[in-house]
Amino acid sequence: MTHSIWIYILVMILSTNLIRVIPLILIRGQIRNRFIKSFLYYVPYVTLAVMTFPAIMEATNSPIAGGIALILGIVAAWMGLSLFPVSVLCCVTVLILEFFLI
């Protein structure tokens, strides 16, 4: 490893907080550009979706357990469960399924 983990962390801290602060320093009015507004609207969901699948199936010992956790998580979130319960449901699903699958 040729790069320092501390510098990675420092770069991450600076970039992440910069992006939080820049609009508050620069932008006085609302963004008017329709394309940029639309683009920014989709970005969070697309990023998280790309990061979640297929990674959730690779994070677990059994890919099938990860896949079923994904499906149950989607159903639970669709039915209105919030962040914490959905998270717990996914964990419990994997815990139980891997007991049988492995």
Segment 21-60, which members bind another protein (CB under 8 A)? Answer: 21-25, 27-28, 30-31, 34-35, 37-56, 59-60
**Cα Rg for the chain, rounded, in angstroms?**
19
Token pair listed for 95: 């815990």
In whole angstroms, the minimum distance from the beta carbon of 12 to another protein comes to 5
Q: Is the distance from CB of 65 to CB of 96 less than 8 angstroms? A: no
Token pair listed for 91: 């964990």
In whole angstroms, the minimum distance from the beta carbon of 91 to another protein comes to 5
Q: Is 64 among the residues that bind another protein (CB under 8 A)?
A: no
**Number of chain residues interacting with another protein (CB under 8 A):** 78
